[in-house]
Structure 1
């Protein structure tokens, strides 16, 4: 029988040595998962049984190989919802909650009718699920190209009323052209040359289709600009996440066309450029 504090300390040491960014946090999440409790209850948990200790050690060793924490627990929290995630789908990041929050506020700003929202490159369905959860009157449409990611999105969006399609965002929802209030997207945006700098959790486990976007990382952003121009009604808005080194180049994709007003970039809680927004000027 191993005391909880001893097990946590040993696990955190193992994870820190493996280069995991948040070893204490991950050690706690994994133990809470094994014990079937919340992290806040760990201090009151009894000593681990041999079976629990074995299960915990196995998960810690897998995390030490940089397998994503969310793949080990099978879930990822995103704003106020919990998503099923695993191999074959991009694991939603906390930073993207800011973009989702912007889209939610933009949808709430539509008055007199139900807002129409399109989530492109939906992945696990995190943004679409959050929007329909927090703006239940919204008509939400989502599209995902990758078949495996689409299956995860189906699981997360089942029963929510979100219109989910599988396909390329470039051809998505032609029936909505000129009628959409909000387009939101977390596109792939990592330059191919940045392969080696990507964290193993993403590089080795997230679908490459969700990560890389040409030599400059902006191929998908240029497609998004064209699709948003087609989908949005006059005065409609678009928001898109980008890499922290694209705080000028990503908004520049929109500013250069002359089709957009109020092109702005927004920073995350760490002060890094994180997502852009723009309003269709026509």
Structure 2
């Protein structure tokens, strides 16, 4: 070690303890990610020593992370499936569990000749851009209510070079010109009950846009709106997928199953075995099933 450097192992050990004491859920991972960001490396290629002039900037980022500022805001990016998305204040940070819903949308669209896919509440564009890049023959639309969040989606689409149509719109009234013509509707709506405020991690509660989190007393207000909008947009036989909270494994699918307008209403677990997203197929008419 030279006088102008610090050993990486010691820095990481101290940083992990500091973040753990602050209640950060993944202290070792976050400590390494922040150091990699500061030195311009990946976690797998961190040097054995860190130049002394970088220790101060690293310490400053650690202080912000200890104050529960999201890791992705500090690094400016979030990995999602095969994409590296720019994120920051004003947009919901995509979570790893949502990759499963995006994968479902990809699998639903891929076999179709020219599928029309709509991502409602698209936020950073994570799902829409995943579908657009993994199913290049798809016609993909992303709709977002918040202009600040839409700006992040547009930035990501431009950086990736994805062929996707993005626009401002409300979940209830989005894309009337596509009524009855959509093959796949996918959505990660707000789904946290207002009463759950205290149980939500500070990274989300204090930094994600409120409109992307809260959805009425039971957390299902947006899901009920989505049911109506998806029914309007989808062709008969078209499919919808929507994420929900792990405590909504029965109540969220019931928003669809109770209407009599959907077949194959199913819930799906995430990699930890927790209820995570529902899927359903639009019936051609209320009470009638589709021919095989």
Question: Shorter-chain TM-score: what band?
Answer: over 0.9
How far off is 1:223 after superposition? 0.5
Cα distance in 2 for partners of 1:73, 1:245 equals 31
Cα distance in 2 for partners of 1:6, 1:108 equals 48
Match of 2:29 in 1: 25
Gapped regions of structure 1 (runs ≥ 5): none
How far off is 1:157 after superposition? 1.5
Cα distance in 1 for partners of 2:191, 2:226 equals 12
Does residue 2 (structure 1) correspond to residue 6 (structure 2)? The answer is: yes
Cα distance in 2 for partners of 1:232, 1:157 equals 24
CA RMSD, Structure 1 to Structure 2 (Å): 0.7
Q: Which one of the candidate residues 14, 18, 23 is aligned to 1:14? A: 18
Superimposed CA distance per residue, residues 85-131 of structure 1 (whole angstroms, 9 cap, x where no aligned partner)? 00010000000000000000000132xx2111000000000000111
Alignment of 1:225-236 (within 5 A): 225-236=227-238
How far off is 1:219 after superposition? 0.4
Contact 2:9 2:48 in 1 (8 A): no
Match of 2:97 in 1: 95
- Runs of 4+ in structure 1 deviating by more than 2 angstroms, as ranges, are none
Alignment of 1:1-282 (within 5 A): 1-42=5-46, 45-110=47-112, 113-158=113-158, 159-282=161-284
Gapped regions of structure 2 (runs ≥ 5): 285-292
How far off is 1:50 after superposition? 1.9
Cα distance in 2 for partners of 1:192, 1:16 equals 28
- For normalisation by structure 1, the TM-score amounts to 0.97
Cα distance in 1 for partners of 2:221, 2:243 equals 13
Cα distance in 1 for partners of 2:283, 2:176 equals 20
How far off is 1:46 after superposition? 4.1
Q: Secondary structure at the match of 1:40?
A: helix
Superimposed CA distance per residue, residues 121-169 of structure 1 (whole angstroms, 9 cap, x where no aligned partner)? 0000000011111001100001000111111111012241211011202
Cα distance in 1 for partners of 2:137, 2:14 equals 48
